[in-house]
């Protein structure tokens, strides 16, 4: 997917004024935040603390990320031993090329897909369409946005921005069936249409929440039955997964499953947790069900560059979405404004790293520094610190406007010279008080009108904090 992150400011401004988007976001934030809270209460009822589980999950992810080459080789060997094929892709284009080649080699005419953010990175549907291969998204949210020709706005609820009336219109236009206005009826209609695709597809494409090195398996965590249909009905199953998705063993999967669904949807466990392994030496007519062949495509697409560096902790991410559900910026503008596959705080770190810091430089600026994202992340990723590090990089690489860079330089110099700094602050607060003209708020900040474009600035008391503090100390 081509990044549109360079239009972040315009997109964010537009979404912040979009009444439909605002209505959706007002509904989404309390919903997800409340569900996660309830989920963690359930964890506590099991006698487990969030912090201790978070440390355990972080330790599992770090164990892999710190020695990724070793774990990848182990996974490859174990997967091959079960009869699976393992392929490697450097970037999204290579993923698309490999999957189209696989489809052609196996005479595939129709592909069914379950939700995969990597498929969005590789723009897989466009590649299949260009090769004359029909590809159908089967996760309900993904199916809706495929019909609408849009991209996901949330990593676990891709069509959260769509109203049921919009979905009903899409279904009438694409299914040619009588219009339904009830959500259950709409879901039933989609199920009926998708069932025909499951039964006639030759190839299933899924992502993987985790790749289990010990068994050479993919672990899939879903809430709709489509994941199991995609991975078992077609004769060929292709798993596409980032190289960082490895975990050592099934015990670690159980530990991570304590926090993944709770952080994502508040569930103690998702409706379906599947561990998919190739059929090994089993005869094709054995009672074991599943595809004739499994192919794993392990994808780099920028991940290896993070290893051993200051952004390596980002590779711990288990794509739960909790950071965006709690983010005051995401919940004010929604996912599309971020312009690439991953929205919210995790996208503000991943998009500049996986695409280009130059074109995505506004994303890590869009943070209040409140650390809500860092506080809820189930694998302890210090998201605010990573965003700050990216901001430092944009400054060091001279990507920000010259006036902003000059401002930071002056500020840095002043901060290192306390006498000058205090003198400057004293002058500034007196000026701001004068600007308020006796009012409690400043309506327009003359030299930086953007600050007061959407809100008023509280007028300072006319004396700096240091002056007030010194007064208080003198008064004893
Ligand atoms: S950064 Fe943390 S909270 Fe955000 S999606 Fe990844 S694991 Fe979840």
> Using one digit for the tens of pLDDT, what is the confidence trace for 87-132?
999 999 999 999 999 999 999 999 999 999 999 999 999 999 999 9
| β-bridge partners, 210 | 219
Confidence of residue 283 (pLDDT cuts 50, 70, 90): low
What is the number of alpha carbons within 13 Å of residue 19 lying toward its C-beta? 0
At 279 the pLDDT is 78
| β-bridge partners, 342 | none
User: Of the ranges 55-64, 375-384, 417-426, which one carries the lowest mean pLDDT score?
Assistant: 417-426
What does the pLDDT average to over 292-297? 96
At 329 the pLDDT is 96
Q: List the domain boundaries for the chain.
A: 49-304, 407-474
| β-bridge partners, 296 | 86, 239
At 287 the pLDDT is 62
What does the pLDDT average to over 205-214? 97
Q: How far is CA 181 from CA 2, 24, 140, 146, 323, in A?
A: 35, 18, 16, 20, 33
At 328 the pLDDT is 95
- Share the mean pLDDT of the chain: 94
Mutate to test the pocket of ligand 1, among 321, 326, 335, 342 (most ligand atoms within 8 A of CB): 321
Whose CA is closest to 157, among 117, 210, 197?
A: 117
At 288 the pLDDT is 62
Whose CA is closest to 330, among 26, 20, 2?
A: 26
**What is the end-to-end Cα distance of the chain in Å, rounded?**
63
- DSSP letters spanning 48-75: --HHHHHHHHHHHHHHHHHTHHHHHHHH
State the chain's maximal CA–CA distance in angstroms. Answer: 90
Confidence of residue 234 (pLDDT cuts 50, 70, 90): very high
At 285 the pLDDT is 62
Q: What would the two tokens of residue 281 be?
A: 């030496």
Mutate to test the pocket of ligand 1, among 117, 152, 258, 319 (most ligand atoms within 8 A of CB): 319
At 462 the pLDDT is 86
What does the pLDDT average to over 417-423? 93
Other C-beta atoms closer than 10 Å to the C-beta of 52 total 9
User: If 0-12 CB within 10 Å is exposed, 13-18 middle and 19+ buried, where does residue 383 land?
Assistant: buried
Is the domain spanning 49-304 CATH 3.40.50.10420? The answer is yes
What atom in ligand 1 is closest to the CA of residue 322? 3
Decide if pLDDT at 47 tops 60: yes
At 342 the pLDDT is 96
> Using one digit for the tens of pLDDT, what is the confidence trace for 307-364?
999 999 999 999 999 999 999 999 999 999 999 999 999 999 999 999 999 999 999 9
Decide if pLDDT at 6 tops 90: yes
| CB-based pocket (< 6 A), ligand 1 | 263, 317-323, 346, 376-379, 381
What atom in ligand 1 is closest to the CA of residue 264? 8
CA dihedral 317, 155, 296, 128 (to 10 degrees): -150
At 224 the pLDDT is 93
Decide if pLDDT at 41 tops 60: yes
Q: How far is CA 343 from CA 151, 306, 360, 374, in A?
A: 11, 19, 12, 15
Using a pLDDT cut of 90, give the percent of the chain over it: 84
Confidence of residue 282 (pLDDT cuts 50, 70, 90): low
More confident residue, 320 or 2: 320
- DSSP letters spanning 386-413: HHHHHHHHHHHTT-S-HHHHHHHHHHHH
- The protein residue with its alpha carbon nearest to ligand 1, atom 4, reads 323
What does the pLDDT average to over 362-369? 94
* Ligand 1 center to 317 CA (angstroms): 5
At 446 the pLDDT is 76
Decide if pLDDT at 370 tops 70: yes
- Number of helices followed by number of strands (H, E) in the chain: 20, 12
Match 């929205």 to its residue by tokens. 343
At 286 the pLDDT is 63
* Ligand 1 center to 117 CA (angstroms): 14
At 281 the pLDDT is 52
């Amino acid at each position: 997917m081509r990044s549109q992150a360079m239009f972040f400011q315009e997109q964010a401004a537009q979404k912040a004024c979009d009444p439909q988007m605002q209505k959706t976001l007002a509904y989404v934030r309390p919903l997800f935040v409340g569900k996660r809270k309830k989920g963690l209460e359930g964890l506590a009822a099991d006698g487990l603390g969030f912090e201790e589980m978070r440390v355990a999950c972080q330790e599992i992810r770090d164990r892999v990320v710190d020695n990724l080459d070793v774990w990848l080789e182990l996974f490859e060997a174990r997967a091959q031993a079960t009869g699976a094929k393992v392929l490697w892709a450097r970037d999204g284009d290579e993923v698309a090329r490999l999957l189209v080649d696989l489809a052609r080699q196996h005479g595939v005419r129709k592909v069914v897909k379950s939700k995969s953010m990597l498929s969005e990175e590789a723009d897989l549907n466009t590649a299949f369409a260009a090769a004359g291969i029909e590809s159908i998204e089967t996760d309900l949210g993904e199916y809706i946005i495929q019909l609408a020709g849009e991209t996901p706005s949330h990593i676990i609820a891709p069509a959260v921005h769509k109203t049921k009336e919009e979905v009903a219109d899409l279904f009438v236009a694409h299914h040619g069936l009588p219009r339904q206005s009830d959500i259950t009826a709409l879901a039933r209609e989609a199920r009926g249409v998708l069932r025909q695709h499951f039964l006639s597809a030759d190839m299933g494409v899924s992502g993987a929440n985790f790749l289990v090195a010990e068994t050479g398996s993919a672990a899939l965590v879903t809430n709709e039955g489509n994941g199991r249909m995609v991975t078992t009905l077609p004769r060929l199953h292709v798993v596409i997964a980032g190289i960082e998705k490895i975990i050592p063993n099934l015990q670690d999967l159980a530990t991570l499953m304590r926090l993944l669904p709770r952080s994502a949807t508040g569930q103690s466990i998702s409706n379906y947790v599947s561990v998919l392994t190739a059929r090994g030496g089993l005869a094709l007519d054995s009672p074991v069900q599943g595809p004739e062949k499994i192919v794993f495509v392990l994808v780099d697409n920028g991940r290896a560059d993070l290893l051993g560096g200051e952004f390596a902790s980002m590779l711990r991410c288990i794509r739960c979405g909790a950071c965006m559900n709690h983010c005051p910026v995401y919940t004010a503008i929604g996912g599309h404004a971020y312009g690439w596959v991953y929205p919210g705080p995790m996208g503000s770190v991943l998009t500049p790293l996986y695409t280009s810091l130059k074109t995505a430089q506004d994303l890590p600026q869009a943070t209040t520094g409140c650390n809500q994202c860092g506080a809820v992340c189930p694998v302890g990723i210090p998201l605010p610190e990573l965003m700050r590090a990216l901001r430092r990089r944009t400054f060091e690489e001279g990507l920000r406007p010259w006036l902003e860079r000059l401002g930071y330089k002056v500020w840095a110099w002043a901060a290192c010279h306390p006498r000058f700094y205090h003198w400057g602050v004293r002058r500034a607060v007196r000026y701001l008080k004068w600007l308020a003209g006796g009012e409690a708020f400043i309506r327009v900040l003359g030299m930086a009108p953007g600050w007061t474009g959407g809100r008023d600035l509280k007028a300072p008391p006319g004396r700096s904090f240091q002056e007030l503090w010194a007064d208080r100390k003198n008064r004893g």
